[in-house]
Amino acid sequence: DAGITQSPRHKVTETGTPVTLRCHQTENHRYMYWYRQDPGHGLRLIHYSYGVKDTDKGEVSDGYSVSRSKTEDFLLTLESATSSQTSVYFCAISDDILDGYTFGSGTRLTVV
Amino acid sequence: AQTVTQSQPEMSVQEAETVTLSCTYDTSESNYYLFWYKQPPSRQMILVIRQEAYKQQNATENRFSVNFQKAAKSFSLKISDSQLGDTAMYFCVLGSGGSNYKLTFGKGTLLTVNP
């Protein structure tokens, strides 16, 4: 969707290195989310933001941190990547629960 | 805590036939919303249909319709006149307005439409 972009689209990194994924929106939506998708698990919430500098943990937040210094950007950081963090990461935005989410195209992260 | 259960990991259907995907959920919220999302091989997440819990009428979007049974906490998706482009992973999703709009996803049903 043109209103939300994720970067990079693919990344391979080594165990122990820091990694930052970026989510950028042009919709001025209040809420932003990071999910990870793994086979057999669906999508699981990592962290979310309900405003600038306002963030909270989701169900699988260990090993991840986030920051939101501007409405349009939501960063997900893996401080020290592990093989268990190999996954597809989705960013999503929302401004009205009735509309559900608008998703980014996802980032496939491989930790070797 | 909210939970969503999709008991059919995989399903298949012949082109032009009708198929129903099952979903059950649990929530303590009185004001909630249910969605079906589709994820084709392109990986993009696409909203298929939505249902507001306070509305008794089942939602319909072209070939897609739901059977919402509130008392049974069931929310099934029916796809009529299945097309090859309907081949995708389908996720049943639950959300409430009172939890910072967080959505809870089922594990998905992989639907294959065969020619």
Contacts for B70 with CB less than 8 Å, ≥ 6 apart: B53, B56
CB A105 within 8 A of CB A21: no
Query: In this predicted structure, what is the pLDDT of residue B89?
Result: 97
Instruction: Produce one character per residue of B4-27: b if its CB has 16 or more CB atoms within 10 Å, e if not.
Output: bebeeeeeebeeeeebebbbbbeb
Each residue's pLDDT tens digit, A42-96: 899 999 999 999 999 999 999 999 999 999 999 999 999 999 999 999 999 998 8
Residue B40, beta-bridge partner list: none
Each residue's pLDDT tens digit, A79-88: 999 999 999 9
Which structure tokens are listed for B16? 């032009």
User: What average pLDDT does chain A have?
Assistant: 94
Pairing of strands B46-52, B88-96: unpaired
Contact A97 B33 (CB under 8 A): yes
CB B113 within 8 A of CB B13: yes
**A44/B103 Cα distance (integer angstroms):** 9
Residue A80: other Cβ atoms inside 10 A: 11
Each residue's pLDDT tens digit, B48-103: 999 999 988 999 999 999 999 999 999 999 999 999 999 999 999 999 767 677 88
Point out the residue among A43, A88, A99 whose CB comes nearest to the CB of B105.
A43
User: Chain B 4-63, CB below 8 Å of chain A: which residues?
Assistant: 4, 33, 35, 37, 43-45, 47, 50, 52
Query: In this predicted structure, what is the pLDDT of residue B100?
Result: 73
Which structure tokens are listed for B19? 């198929």
Whether the per-residue pLDDT at A38 is higher than 80: the answer is yes
User: What average pLDDT does chain B have?
Assistant: 94
Each residue's pLDDT tens digit, A6-22: 999 999 999 999 999 99
Q: What is the DSSP letter of B58?
A: P
Contact A42 B103 (CB under 8 A): no
Interface of A with B (CB under 8 A): 31, 33, 35, 40-45, 48, 50, 56, 58, 88, 90, 92, 94, 97-101, 103, 105-106
Sort A104 into a burial class: Cβ within 10 Å, 0-12 / 13-18 / 19+: buried
Query: In this predicted structure, what is the pLDDT of residue A2?
Result: 61
Whether the per-residue pLDDT at B3 is higher than 90: the answer is yes
Residue B42, beta-bridge partner list: none
Mean per-residue pLDDT, A27-37: 95
Grouping H, G, I as helix, E, B as strand and the rest as coil, residue B45 is: coil
CB A75 within 8 A of CB A23: yes
Query: In this predicted structure, what is the pLDDT of residue A53?
Result: 92
